[in-house]
Amino acid sequence: MAENRILGIFPRRASKRGLPDPTVTNPATDGALLYQSRHTHVSDEKAMMLSAVYRAVDLISNAVAMLPITLFANGRRIDNDLSYLINHEPNFISTHFQLFKTLTIDILQRGNAFLWIRRGRATGAIEELRYLKPEEVKILYNEETNRKRFVIKHTDEELDAEDIIHFMNYTTDGVVGISVLSKARRSLGISWASEQTAENYFEKGGAVTGVLASKAMLNNKQKEEIRTQWKEVMASEDGGIAILGADMTFTPITLSASDAQLLETRHFNVEEIARFYGISPTLLGDLTKSSYATFEATSLDFLTNSLQPRLTNIEQELNLKLLSRREKQVQGMHFAFETEDLLRCTKTEMAGYYRDLINNGVMTVNEVRRKLDFEPVAGGDENYIQLNMTTLTGVKNNKENEQEN
């Protein structure tokens, strides 16, 4: 009998059919919602208050959510009830964009995201993809059978793996995902601490701004009165114009080494968070090394190295849970995100891109018009090729025919 472990905060449940007790995991806690760096505790909500984290999560989740998901069968687009469900009405309260943005945020921040596949009782057809919060789900894993089951906490309903779409971020066991933030806890703690230090710095007007010197001897009460009056003047909305007495001078203090180090630390924190999310600091608003050429390369790098692996992760889970083995093997059915829109920059480049696809017979006129939300035209479903193009085999055959004649 396999050894069992309890990974979550829930008691063990007796497994069915005489199988060993399953491992119980809680995605909300195992995915790590609390990050600690010595004395600094950074919760999930606190992490999203860091501008670099918020921007990274918002950027990635928006990019995923805005892309349509196409169902293909042997290379042809399939428009059926399932593809309509995913792209337009996945459930009764969410649009495609809202649902996949939320799922992507859960994947990044919680390490796990869940959809409950709701089927019609009479037909068995998929009618709804219901969103579940990670804290609403606990996972039962049986090491002997290598099978997962899911329990919906508010109903205590136990579901087979085939009924739950489970997206995971980084995982070490294939059972529960691990969030980006759980691996970035040290950087998050430093970032939060530096933000707090910066807040205190600017609340004090940027640390000590200067020294007021008086030739006359002042007692403590007089010093405090002058200090109070000076702070009131410098904090005023009319620009903070101060008038000094004849026996007083003001010596400004420039940015100290420690203050400069604070600013440099905040800049480094942006770079560090960007690395954890696999995106360029330029996309998080750090334009110190940016130009038009580098931004174009950065956008392509974002699609290739950051976004595409996340899209593939989602596609493969949808294929696994929403399509049968026969549909995949015999009919060649699979889901795929349409990413062309992310690669196009200007209307001129877009026109050239589609023109080349039409001229080489890759797409029909109506397929292009549909992507641009135009009405189809008569004769637009034919594939066109240039007459001056042929294959190497065709050239060889033409020469042989000429020699025979």
Rounded-to-integer distance, Cα 322 and Cα 320, Å: 6
pLDDT mean over 8-31: 48
Residue 294's pLDDT band (boundaries 50, 70, 90)?
A: low
Given this model, what pLDDT does residue 47 score? 75
Q: How far is the CA of 316 from the CAs of 82, 86, 96, 308, in angstroms?
A: 16, 15, 18, 12
Q: Is the pLDDT of residue 1 over 70?
A: no
Single-letter code of the amino acid located at 384: Y
Hey, which of 87-101, 172-186, 217-231 has the most confident mean pLDDT? 87-101
- Asked if 72 and 332 touch (Cβ cutoff 8 Å), the reply is yes
Rounded-to-integer distance, Cα 90 and Cα 97, Å: 10
Q: Is the pLDDT of residue 2 over 90?
A: no
Rounded-to-integer distance, Cα 351 and Cα 373, Å: 14
Q: Mean pLDDT check: name the lowest of 67-81, 161-175, 201-215, 308-322.
A: 201-215
Given this model, what pLDDT does residue 225 score? 80
Structural tokens at position 83? 């593809």
pLDDT mean over 2-21: 40
Percent of the chain exceeding pLDDT 90 equals 35
pTM: 0.69
Given this model, what pLDDT does residue 275 score? 86
pLDDT in tens, 377-397: 888 888 877 766 665 566 566
pLDDT mean over 286-291: 65
Q: Mean pLDDT check: name the lowest of 63-67, 71-75, 103-107.
A: 71-75
pLDDT mean over 288-305: 74
- Nearest residue to 138 via CA among 163, 111, 156: 156
* Percentages (nearest 5) of helix, strand, coil residues in the chain: 45, 20, 35
- Asked if 383 and 361 touch (Cβ cutoff 8 Å), the reply is yes
pLDDT in tens, 42-65: 667 777 777 888 899 999 999 999
Rounded-to-integer distance, Cα 153 and Cα 346, Å: 49
Rounded-to-integer distance, Cα 132 and Cα 112, Å: 10
Given this model, what pLDDT does residue 299 score? 80
Given this model, what pLDDT does residue 83 score? 95
Q: Is the pLDDT of residue 340 over 80?
A: no
Per DSSP, the three-state class of 361 is coil
Mean pLDDT of the chain: 77
Q: Is the pLDDT of residue 137 over 70?
A: yes
Per DSSP, the three-state class of 320 is helix
Q: Is the pLDDT of residue 238 over 80?
A: no
Q: Is the pLDDT of residue 35 over 60?
A: no
Who wins on pLDDT, 331 or 37? 331
Q: Is the pLDDT of residue 215 over 90?
A: no
Q: How far is the CA of 306 from the CAs of 55, 106, 176, 234, in angstroms?
A: 14, 17, 21, 47
Q: Is the pLDDT of residue 177 over 90?
A: yes
Q: Is the pLDDT of residue 282 over 60?
A: yes
Residue 4's pLDDT band (boundaries 50, 70, 90)?
A: very low
Crossing angle of the two packed helices 185-203 and 51-65, in degrees rounded to 10: 120
pLDDT in tens, 240-263: 556 666 577 766 655 444 444 444
Contacts of 175 by beta carbon, 8 Å cutoff, 6+ apart: 23, 25, 139, 141, 148
Given this model, what pLDDT does residue 24 score? 63
Contacts of 81 by beta carbon, 8 Å cutoff, 6+ apart: 125, 126
Who wins on pLDDT, 296 or 376? 376
